[in-house]
């Protein structure tokens, strides 16, 4: 009988962005996003969790190195040391909140991880984080 485990890989990436919606006036943007309408940066902590049954013959369901390589190709190379609005074409026109960033990362990873992808968690600061599970 295969037991189900959750495997998590943590990565850190640095990106700059600003919170601003073209659908709102300057005043509305200021009221909603405050000082974050100005360009600023974060050292994001990304935790990606995959879920699957442990294969008896190898003692795991996925090699962590495989997950690390997928994260590098699909996420880290696109986001690390980048301006999210200017350098990431897929994010143009999207307000780069941590919520939207977590959905973007899920969408980048899903084609490679499919049903194994369980959770994307992004810590924007020590105290603020978002969890997305594909719903």
Active site residue 81: yes
* pTM of the predicted model as reported, rounded to 2 decimal places: 0.94
Cα separation, 70 vs 80, in Å, equals 14
CATH of the domain at 65: 3.30.479.10
Report whether 17 belongs to an annotated binding site. yes
Report whether 87 belongs to an annotated binding site. no
Number of domains the chain contains: 1
Active site residue 36: yes
Determine the straight-line distance between the first and last CA of the chain, rounded to whole angstroms.
29
1-42 per-position pLDDT tens digit? 679 999 999 999 999 999 999 999 999 999 999 999 999 999
CB-neighbour burial class of residue 103 (10 A; exposed 0-12, middle 13-18, buried 19+) = middle
Note the pLDDT of residue 50: 98
Parent domain of 69: 4-132
Report whether 40 belongs to an annotated binding site. yes
- Which entry of 11, 36, 47, 119 is annotated as an active-site residue? 36
- Which entry of 69, 73, 81, 115 is annotated as an active-site residue? 81
43-84 per-position pLDDT tens digit? 999 999 999 999 999 999 999 999 999 999 999 999 999 999
């Amino acid at each position: 009988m295969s037991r189900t485990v959750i495997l998590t890989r943590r990565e850190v990436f640095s990106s700059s962005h600003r919170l601003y919606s073209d659908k709102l006036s300057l005043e509305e943007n200021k009221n909603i996003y405050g000082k974050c309408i100005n360009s600023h940066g974060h050292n994001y902590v990304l935790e990606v969790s995959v879920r699957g049954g442990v294969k008896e013959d190898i003692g795991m369901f996925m090699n962590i190195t495989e997950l690390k390589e997928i994260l590098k190709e699909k996420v880290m190379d696109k986001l690390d040391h980048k301006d999210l609005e200017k350098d990431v074409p897929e994010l143009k026109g999207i307000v780069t909140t941590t919520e939207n960033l977590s959905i973007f990362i899920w969408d980048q990873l899903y084609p490679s991880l499919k049903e194994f992808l369980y959770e994307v968690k992004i810590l924007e600061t020590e105290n603020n984080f978002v969890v997305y599970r594909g719903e």
